[in-house]
Homo-oligomer: A and B are copies of this chain.
Amino acid sequence: MKWHDLNGDTCPLARAMGVIGDRWTLLILRECFLGVRRFDGFQKRLGVTRHLLAERLKRLETMGVLERRPYQERPLRHEYRLTTAGKEFAPVLLAMQDWAQHNLPSAEPAPFTFVTRDSGAKVCPVLTDRDSGQELNHRTVLMVPATTAASKVIEAHRRAPSTNSDLGPETDSSTISDTG
C-alpha cells in the first residue's frame, strides 16, 4: 500500500490519516493554532528538517487544510494559514490532548492549555450528542458497519450484554461479518 492510497479511502478515518498520519503534520497544525505562520517559525520550533517541512506544508495546502498567501513582495514571501477546514480541526486537537493527558502520563506539565475566549477558564472537553445532549463515549456509542442495520446490532447486543463493553460488539470472532 502506498501512502497516498489512504486519501481516496472510503473510510473517513483512513482519509484523516492520509493527512495527519505521520510524525510531523499534527505538530505543524498545533503550531498553526498557536499562531505560527512562517516557514522558519515552524522549522525552529519543531526541529523538523526543512525538506520535510516544505513537503508537509505543500500537502496540507493540497488537502485544503492550510492556505499559502503572500504577506510581502520584494522579495515575495508567503505564510501559511489555517483554512476553515483547518480551523474545524480544533475539536480533534482538544479531544486528543485531553486523551493524552489522561492516558499517556508525563512528568512535566503540558506546555500549553486550552481556555475559553470569554472567561479564560481552562476547558474540560466532553463530546456530546447535539440532539440528545447525551455524553458520547465507549459506553454510550456503538460503531456499526454501514451494511448492518443498527437496530440489529443493538438487539444482538441487548441479548448478550457485555461487562467489558466498548464501542464495538463483544464477540469472540475476529471478523466483523461474523458479528453482524
Contact = CB atoms under 8 A, between A and B. Distances in A.
B21 A22 contact: yes
A111 B142 contact: no
A95 B153 CA distance: 22
Contact of A10 (B12, B15, B108): B108
Copy number in the complex reads: 2
A138 B34 CA distance: 11
A17 to B, nearest CB: 5
Interface of A: 1, 3, 6-19, 21-23, 26-27, 30, 32-38, 40-42, 44-45, 47-48, 63-65, 71, 79, 81-82, 85-104, 106, 108-132, 134, 136-146, 150-151, 153-154, 157, 164, 166-176, 179
